[in-house]
């Protein structure tokens, strides 16, 4: 089959449930030591999401293969440690074997379509600014610094309009 005839996997989100939770948790184990220092373990993220009144979380799939995890925070909540006036990309990860293949970019594009459908005009996040962190990934997507920080992580925003 030629490269031109290969079809890109369809990126979609699925709810975290009893059938896929372990698979999604195990994706964290694929990350490098450096990545694991700056990306929360999916099991921790899922636990935090389950006790938050403001979390929206999903598994990221490419066709039928689990490739990542995404979690939003929908509004400011001091109890969660999120003081953001809008939607905040609280957690986002793509498993190591799937990095650099466009899955992260496509997952964010899918998320943006979802948020726009609800009339949401901005998406905030913060990231580990250390070498090898995801700063360049977010810059390429159009996120810009707000000047605020979450701890030592710079906050960035993407205008969706």
pLDDT at 9: 81
Instruction: Residue 114: give its domain's CATH number.
Output: 3.40.630.30
Task: Please indicate, yes or no, if residue 15 is contained in any of the structural domains.
Answer: yes
Task: Please indicate, yes or no, if residue 2 is contained in any of the structural domains.
Answer: no
**pLDDT at residue 68 greater than cutoff 90:** yes
What's the 3-state SS for 89-148?
A: EEEEEECHHHCCCCHHHHHHHHHHHHHHHCCCCEEEEECCCCCCCCHHHHHHHCCEEEEE
Task: Please indicate, yes or no, if residue 83 is contained in any of the structural domains.
Answer: yes
Give tens-digit pLDDT for 26-38. 999 999 998 998 8
Task: Please indicate, yes or no, if residue 3 is contained in any of the structural domains.
Answer: no
Domain containing residue 79: 10-159
**pLDDT at residue 161 greater than cutoff 90:** no
Task: Please indicate, yes or no, if residue 125 is contained in any of the structural domains.
Answer: yes
Quote the number of domains for the chain.
1
């Amino acid at each position: 089959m030629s490269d031109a005839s290969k079809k890109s996997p369809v990126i979609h989100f699925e709810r975290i449930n009893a059938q896929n939770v372990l698979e999604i948790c195990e994706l964290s184990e694929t990350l490098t030591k450096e990545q694991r220092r700056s990306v929360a373990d999916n099991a921790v993220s899922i636990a935090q999401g389950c006790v938050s009144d403001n979390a929206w979380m999903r598994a990221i799939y490419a066709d039928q293969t689990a490739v990542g995890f995404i979690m939003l925070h929908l509004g400011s909540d001091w109890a969660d440690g999120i003081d953001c006036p809008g939607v905040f990309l609280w957690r986002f990860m793509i498993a190591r074997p799937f990095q650099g293949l466009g899955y992260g970019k496509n997952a964010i594009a899918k998320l943006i379509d979802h948020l726009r459908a609800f009339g949401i005009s901005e998406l905030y996040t913060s990231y580990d600014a250390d070498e090898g962190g995801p700063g360049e990934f977010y810059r390429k997507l159009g996120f810009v610094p707000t000047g605020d920080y979450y701890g030592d992580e710079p906050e960035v925003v993407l205008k969706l309009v």
